[in-house]
Amino acid sequence: MIDIFLEKLLLDVAGYLHDSSANDWQRDPVLAATLGSSRLVSQPSLSRFFKRLEDADLDDFRKLIWQVAALAFRLSGQSRFVLDIDSTHCDTFGNQERSAFNAHYMAYGYHPQVVFDQESGLLLDALMRPGNEYIGKEADKFVETTFSRLSALPQSTSVIIRGDSGFAAPKFYEMCDTHGVDFLVRLKANSKLGKLAETALVDCPPKYEESKCVYHEFKYQAASWGKARRVIICSTHTADELVPWNHAFVVTSLASEAPETLFKTYRQRGNAENQIKELKCGFGFDKTDSSTFARNTARALITGIAYNLVQLFKQLFVSEDRRSTISSLRFSLFHIAGRITWHARRVVIHLASNYVNKNWFSRLMDEVHQLAT
């Protein structure tokens, strides 16, 4: 089971995301040498592997996503974390278990929650869900494990989490309070918030022909909240528009930073969209090749592990540009031409003489060997 898991993991890193790819790579000497096996699995073997997985195995895959991230954090000594929680959609086709229609995406599929660390780009956790579950349903329970894991790191940590209005719920705020995590969460506009914002701006009406942006704040307590919280507002007027103000509201536990600074921090959560895109397009997180929910969950979680391994690889060895996508890494380092020869028990890879990244590749291999010893 472990050998099959490792092979599937390496195939995902290399970009061979379909199970049928295993048939093409059964006799590959480099993959065999990497895995220390002379016999690689076939597509039917991969299918049997997924069928044998149990719920405990899925829990282990989620833990392994975190363990790779934790290794990266221990090596880097990172102590400040800005987390982005979000959801995404995985299309399903046919009568797949727990597939459901999502009105936001206008499609049938699954609707997983994910949480990333902004600085490292690492995936910290992922939870597969039916397609009709609301974006922020039980998000407080989802992030609780991540909060506990971060606090257990050997270095002292400070944590901020950002989320859109789908995560605006008192249970989510209270979970953050319990774990000492600060938050920035978008609020949906309503009539009461709008009146409070308009009242605050009554003495500075905008000029019709000029664009204007005003940052301000007030204390606000919705009926479902246990206490009043700080709400920051970005009020904008666009030149030549009849509407005086458009307001954006964010609730936060951060007390000292200016509203403009906090809005700048909040808007950077757009980076999570790029990380989700990399996870799906680069590793196949949204591939739902199996008929059962559990097997599709396993596929998604294994791609999450592969994604984190590449993020760790970039942290350790790709100092040139850690923002490199998996596509560029595959093109530059993984999918390269070479000739294989065998000498006794050694496998020797001869790179093409015109390989443009030969020096980079050689230096990288030296660093890998040094780390291994």
Please name each of the domains of the chain with its CATH number.
1-52 (no CATH), 53-317 (3.90.350.10), 336-372 (no CATH)
Residue 318 pLDDT > 90? no
Q: For residue range 240-264, what is the model confidence (pLDDT) as tens digits?
A: 787 788 999 999 999 999 999 999 9
Q: What is the mean pLDDT of residues 316-326?
A: 80
Can you read off the two tokens belonging to residue 278? 């990399």
Q: Smallest Cα–Cα separation from 46: which of 86, 104, 4, 109?
A: 4
Confidence (pLDDT) at 232: 98
Q: Which residues pair with 86 in a beta bridge?
A: 114
Q: What is the mean pLDDT of residues 317-338?
A: 86
Confidence (pLDDT) at 197: 94
Q: How confident is the model at residue 204 (pLDDT cuts 50, 70, 90)?
A: confident
Q: For residue range 156-166, what is the model confidence (pLDDT) as tens digits?
A: 999 999 999 99
Residue 184 contacts residue 262 (beta carbons within 8 Å): yes
Percentage of the chain modeled with pLDDT above 70: 99
Rounded to whole angstroms, how far apart are CA atoms 122 and 116?
Answer: 6
Q: What is the mean pLDDT of residues 25-47?
A: 86
pTM of the model: 0.94
Q: What is the mean pLDDT of residues 3-27?
A: 92
Residue 1 pLDDT > 90? no
Residue 95 pLDDT > 90? no
Q: What is the mean pLDDT of residues 30-52?
A: 88
Residue 169 pLDDT > 90? yes
Residue 344 pLDDT > 80? no
Q: How confident is the model at residue 328 (pLDDT cuts 50, 70, 90)?
A: very high
Confidence (pLDDT) at 64: 98
Q: For residue range 205-240, what is the model confidence (pLDDT) as tens digits?
A: 887 778 889 999 999 999 999 999 999 999 998 887
First to last CA, the chain: 27
Q: How confident is the model at residue 320 (pLDDT cuts 50, 70, 90)?
A: low
